[in-house]
Amino acid sequence: MRLYELMFVVDPRVPDEEVISLTEDVKELLTSEGAEIAKEQSWGKRKLAYEINKLSEGKYVLLHVRVNEGTNPFPLLEQRMTQNEKVLRYLTVRTDVGRMRMPFEPDHAPEPVAAAAEEG
């Protein structure tokens, strides 16, 4: 089972009822594609780090999503969010993966310099 966090920011001029409706539509789309909503958080209206479409605030919604191996409901969801003018930004992050080794990192930790000097 894979775990994801989906956060999206809605235009602050959109009424709260429409934000709730939009969130329900997102949850329905995810569950129809085989995902499970583990947790939902509405953060309300918050200041944006930078202006988007001349707006300095947005309504934040965070969903914790569980997805079975072999299914991926996010391409369809992200396409719909891109087309929806009410959604300012969205981000999907996989959270079940631990720290991944970078391609340039060695497979093992290097020996401390002091230990190498004592042996020689």
User: Is the pLDDT reported for residue 41 higher than 90?
Assistant: yes
Instruction: Answer whether 80's CB lies under 8 Å from 92's CB.
Output: no
Number of domains in the chain: 1
Domain membership of residue 87 as a residue range: 2-97
Residue 73: inside a domain, yes or no? Answer: yes
User: Is the pLDDT reported for residue 46 higher than 90?
Assistant: yes
pLDDT (mean) for 11-35 = 94
Provide, rounded to the nearest whole percent, the portion of the chain with pLDDT above 90: 70
CATH of residue 86? 3.30.70.60
Q: What pTM value is reported for the model?
A: 0.76
Write 24-27 long-range contacts (CB < 8 A, 24+): 26/61, 26/63, 26/77, 26/81, 27/63
